[in-house]
Amino acid sequence: MDRKKETVTIYDVAREAGVSMATVSRVVNGNPNVKPLTRKKVLETIRRMGYRPNAVARGLASKKTTTVGVVIPDISYAFFAELTRGIEDIANMYHYNIILCNSDLKKNKELQLIEALFEKQVDGLLFLGGEVTEEHREIFSGSDIPVVLAATQDEKVKNRPFVTIDHVQAAKEATGILIREGHQRIGFVGGPLTDPIIGYPRYLGYKEALSESGLPFEEKWIQLGNYRYDTGLKATKELLMMEEGPTAIFAVNDEIAVGAIHAAQDLGKRVPEEISVIGFDNIPLATQVRPLLSTVAVPMYDIGAVAMRLLTKYMNGEPIENNQVVLEYRLELRDSTQLKETPDSV
């Protein structure tokens, strides 16, 4: 076969089948306005010649690439991996492909990535994590490409579409569990507070819960690092070895929380009898630890799926009833806290 050398084009097929390029184009694109017999003939020569439509040429002519850009902090985090799976599944369902980019939450990298994606003429963009700065807004609004935010939102821009959960409220409720258990000294272990997506909102929720219950907020009970297990491990040891240290830990994510559990155990403290720990996200790890981790179940997959679905609506010009969706979370109380009944949600 010679299909390897010469690339066969729509023109070749047309000539060979004795029809026009337009007709070939029609059958390739499933346009119904083709006589069945003609269609059959064309399909046959397509097969015979091993014709493969060139999506780049199609993209140039039609101004649609059926490709969307996805900018994400770091795919190696279970949270984002799961979310990305949701995105890709829906994208696939609607016949889109995704170009995946890791930003490491670095603003300049984000900006440069978005720019590159726009140059590639993606039909839409999903942006996750990272603060939406003025520069982001500028580049977003400088083009007609629809952008939806996932797992975050833009406080400043009223109508920027997004799909997320209420991080503050969830963190507040999670901390509330610890409070209901009777803990008076509750530690906080998290990533950087400068992170407007995870770090800060969850910190806020924690703080609000304390103040609403009249509990003391102690600067020294706040331990910060990154979002990894080791942070949870080290920070919690620190906390537990203090005089008057916390008796319960609110961790901003599950990896940290599991680190916290192990820290307690390493120090000979029993969880949850002596120390309660509550996490956030409900990644698989949460049920792969003993005791099972109590946590805030965040619908990661759904955030991705819903965000992608919303984006398809923009791309296809479908009517959109609600472009800012706040998904439900759920308190998943397992064995790292003593309370087993979810209180009436606020």
Partner DNA sequence: CTGTTAGCGCTTTCAC
Partner DNA sequence: GTGAAAGCGCTAACAG
Helix or strand or coil: residue 147?
Answer: strand
Contact status: 66 vs DNA (CB under 7 A): no
| Of 18, 50, 182, 343, the one binding a second copy by CB under 8 A | 50
Enumerate the H helices of the chain as residue ranges: 10-17, 21-28, 36-49, 55-62, 78-93, 107-119, 134-141, 167-180, 199-212, 229-240, 254-266, 300-315
From residue 266, alpha-carbon distances to 222, 240, 245, 261, 276 in Å are: 20, 11, 16, 9, 15
- CB-nearer residue toward DNA: 118 or 301: 118
Q: Which of 15, 49, 53, 287 binds DNA (CB under 7 A)?
A: 53
Find out whether 253 and 286 touch, Cβ atoms under 8 Å: no
Site string for DNA, 1-20 (x = CB under 7 A): ------x-xxx------xxx
Q: What angle do CA 140, 72, 254 make, to 5 degrees?
A: 135
Token readout for 295 is 């946590």
Q: Binding a second copy by CB under 8 A: which of 288, 316, 342, 345?
A: 288
Tell me which of a second copy, DNA, none is bound by residue 105, counting a contact when its beta carbon lies within the kind-specific cut-off of 5 to 8 angstroms.
none
Q: Nearer to DNA by C-beta: 119 or 341?
A: 119
247 binds, among a second copy, DNA, none (CB under 5 to 8 A by kind): none
* DSSP secondary structure of 275-332: -EEE-SB--GGGGSSSSPPBEEE--HHHHHHHHHHHHHHHHTT---S-SEEEE--EEE
For residue 98, what is the enclosing H or E element? strand 97-102
Smallest gap from residue 292 Cβ to a second copy (A)? 10
Shortest separation between residue 326's beta carbon and DNA, angstroms: 36
Identity at 166, one-letter amino acid code: D
3 binds, among DNA, a second copy, none (CB under 5 to 8 A by kind): a second copy
The closest alpha carbon to 289, from 322, 254, 316, belongs to: 254
Q: Which of the residues 249 through 278 are near a second copy (CB under 8 A)?
A: 255, 258-259, 262, 265
One residue of 44, 48, 57, 242 binding DNA per CB under 7 A: 57
Min CB(193)–a second copy separation in Å: 24
Query: How near is the Cβ of 159 to a second copy at its closest, in Å?
Result: 16
Cβ at position 233, least distance to DNA in Å: 50
d(CA 123, CA 230): 39
Gap between the terminal Cα atoms of the chain = 68
- Indicate the residue among 20 and 213 with the shorter CB distance to DNA: 20
What does the per-residue mask of binding to a second copy show for 140-179, with x meaning CB under 8 A?
-xxxx-----------------------------------
Q: Which residues bind a second copy (CB under 8 A)?
A: 1, 3-4, 50, 52-57, 59-60, 65, 67, 74-78, 81-82, 84-85, 88-89, 92, 97-102, 115-121, 141-144, 228-229, 255, 258-259, 262, 265, 284-285, 287-290
